[in-house]
């Protein structure tokens, strides 16, 4: 299959205007890798809002109304990624599922719920589940980015999927030293639980953290840093360029990454590529497919007590941190594009 | 000095063609250089010309760039007749080609119209003398029109 060239491939992704995160990077990289293999790949985006509820339904309809199989040069293959892009219709459709709209599934009974517990909320959740089932059943194959995502798909939709981990954006990450600090990378969003890092740091005397990323939660997090007396030990860098990010990974002591039931968690892979251990939590989802407690990082309880204990251990023991970090490097370095692209293109054959 | 604006530059996007919209990219780069946030907003289209298409417009009508929430757009630049139907209170039509709509029809959806070299609207007997249409020569002038009178969304709610 690696010999097949010249296919027209549309990679579909919802666009949240003026926001950019892991899904956008991954989709861009997929297009780049496909083009590099001699295909004519293009990113198809549709502006996306998931609130208020009617806007979510309209967005689902919009993907359904796209006519990618028309025109002078229709795509030979369409790749759906995250909700609701896989609702697009095409006779040759394959889905590499980044994630579903989890508020209609596992997140409904958590603090991250969107829909009310009333008839309207139930109808919204049912509409999303029905649309997911129909659209994913149309696909010639469904792949996911993690076993965690595949497990949810099987549990809620009864659909089996093959797991293909996304390769990292930077293969050239490396350990550049050890400045004794904790690094946090990612969108500042309550589900990423950066607040737990800040609160935990308040219990680790002298501990310092660098927080890279921006988002709706930033003002709240900066206030927590002031309230807990660690504002002078936490650096909020906002969005940074690639080189700054590489250096931050390369020079930190360890990486904190403890989102709630994350789909995959590219930060984990990037940390391991830089030979840094990851401090995460028992409920971090896909992160746990790479972080093994005591071997490639620390897996602790999702509370301030657990996280502060984990941070204190690694910040006080550089030798331990170095050993755990090096253990994670091999698995992360093995992730590549060939296997997943071969599987995606098999649908077009 | 205009405050920092969030500018959405909207156009249909043909697939697998060499049609790389340099004008859109130039406006976005100029906007960013001037300290604004600017981004291209596209919908895929099987064929793109200056003709208003009901099918294309229907899809744009489902796009709301003013919904409440973070990072709503302050101002929207519409680079094709179909995009005029997207939902936002401050739309500017940027006419660079021959549009199938008249000035009156365009102003039904857009607050202002800016026409650059090579751009034209269908003539109509009731179009004459409308002061909302600005003719300029350079893309930098388009940005001036975009910023003139633009109101951050927070102030519009």
Contacts of B41 in chain A (CB under 8 A): 15, 17, 47
Residue B149 pLDDT: 66
Whether the per-residue pLDDT at B82 is higher than 70: the answer is: yes
Indicate yes or no: pTM above 0.95: no
- Chain B CA closest to residue A11: B15
**Partner-chain residue, chosen from B42, B62, B65, that has the shortest CB–CB distance to A45:** B42
Residue A18 pLDDT: 86
Put simply, the answer to whether B58 touches A47 (Cβ < 8 Å) is: no
Put simply, the answer to whether A65 touches B68 (Cβ < 8 Å) is: no
Whether the per-residue pLDDT at B123 is higher than 90: the answer is: no
Q: How far apart are CA A192 and CA A186, in angstroms?
A: 8
Q: Lowest-pLDDT range, A281-285, B141-145, B148-152? A: B148-152
Per-residue pLDDT reduced to its tens digit, A76-106:
999 999 999 999 999 999 999 999 999 999 9
3-class state of residue B6 by DSSP: strand
Question: Which of the residues A64, A65, A71, A88 would you substitute to probe the B interface, choosing the one with the greatest number of B C-beta atoms within 10 Å?
Answer: A71
**Partner-chain residue, chosen from B16, B59, B68, that has the shortest CB–CB distance to A42:** B16
Put simply, the answer to whether A10 touches B65 (Cβ < 8 Å) is: no
pLDDT level of residue B157 (50, 70, 90 thresholds): very low
Radius of gyration in angstroms for the set of CA atoms belonging to chain A, rounded to a whole number: 21
| Range A161-190 burial, b when 16+ CB lie within 10 A, else e | bebbbbbbbeeebebeebebbbbbbbbbbb
**Stretch B117-125: mean pLDDT:** 85
Contacts of A20 in chain B (CB under 8 A): none
This model of the complex carries an ipTM of: 0.86
| Residues of chain A below pLDDT 70 | 1-3
**Partner-chain residue, chosen from A16, A17, A46, that has the shortest CB–CB distance to B43:** A46
The whole-angstrom distance between A57's CA and the closest CA on chain B is: 10
Q: Report which secondary-structure segment, H or E, holds B25.
A: helix B22-33
Per-residue pLDDT reduced to its tens digit, A136-176:
999 999 999 999 999 999 999 999 999 999 999 888 899 99
pLDDT level of residue B154 (50, 70, 90 thresholds): very low
């Amino acid at each position: 299959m690696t010999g097949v060239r010249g296919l027209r491939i549309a990679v579909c992704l919802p666009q949240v205007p003026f926001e950019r995160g892991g899904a956008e990077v991954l989709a861009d990289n997929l297009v780049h890798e496909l083009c590099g293999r001699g295909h004519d790949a293009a990113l198809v985006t549709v502006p996306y809002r998931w609130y208020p509820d009617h806007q979510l339904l309209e967005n689902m309809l919009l993907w359904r109304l796209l006519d990618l199989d028309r025109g002078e040069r229709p795509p030979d293959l369409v790749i759906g990624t995250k909700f609701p892009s896989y609702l697009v219709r095409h006779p040759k459709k394959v889905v590499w599922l980044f994630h579903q709209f989890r508020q209609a599934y596992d997140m409904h009974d958590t603090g991250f719920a969107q829909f009310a517990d009333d008839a309207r909320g139930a109808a919204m959740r049912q509409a999303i589940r029905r649309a997911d089932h129909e659209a994913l059943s149309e696909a010639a194959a469904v792949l996911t980015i993690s076993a965690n995502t595949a497990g949810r798909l099987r549990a809620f939709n009864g659909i089996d999927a093959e797991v293909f981990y996304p390769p990292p954006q930077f293969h050239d990450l490396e350990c550049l030293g050890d400045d004794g600090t904790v690094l946090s990378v990612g969108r500042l969003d309550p589900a990423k639980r950066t607040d737990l890092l800040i609160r935990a740091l308040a219990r680790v005397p002298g501990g310092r953290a660098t927080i890279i990323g921006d988002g709706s939660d930033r003002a709240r997090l900066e206030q927590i840093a002031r309230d807990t007396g660690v504002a002078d030990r936490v650096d909020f860098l906002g969005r940074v360029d690639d080189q700054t990010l590489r250096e931050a990974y390369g020079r930190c002591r360890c990486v904190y990454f403890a989102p709630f039931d994350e789909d995959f968690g590219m930060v984990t892979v990037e940390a391991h590529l830089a030979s840094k251990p990851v401090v995460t939590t028992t409920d971090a989802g896909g992160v746990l497919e790479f972080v093994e407690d005591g071997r490639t990082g620390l897996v602790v309880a999702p509370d301030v007590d657990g996280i502060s204990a984990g941070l204190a251990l690694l910040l006080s023991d550089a030798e331990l941190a170095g050993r755990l970090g090096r253990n994670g490097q091999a698995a992360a370095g093995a992730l590549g594009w060939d296997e997943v692209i071969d599987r995606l293109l098999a649908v077009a054959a | 000095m205009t405050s920092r604006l969030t500018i959405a530059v909207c156009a249909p996007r043909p697939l697998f063609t060499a049609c790389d919209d340099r004008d859109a990219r130039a406006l976005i780069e100029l906007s960013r250089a001037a300290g604004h946030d600017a981004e291209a907003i596209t919908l895929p289209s099987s064929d793109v010309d200056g003709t208003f298409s009901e099918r294309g417009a229907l899809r744009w009508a489902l796009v709301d760039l003013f919904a409440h929430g973070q990072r709503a757009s302050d101002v929207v630049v519409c680079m094709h007749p179909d995009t005029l139907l997207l939902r936002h209170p401050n739309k500017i039509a940027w006419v660079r080609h021959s549009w199938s709509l008249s000035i009156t029809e365009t102003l039904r959806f857009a607050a202002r119209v800016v026409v650059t070299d090579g751009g034209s609207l269908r003539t109509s007997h009731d179009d004459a003398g409308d002061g909302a249409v600005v003719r300029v020569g350079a893309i930098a002038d388009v940005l001036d029109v975009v910023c003139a009178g633009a109101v951050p969304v927070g102030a519009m709610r």
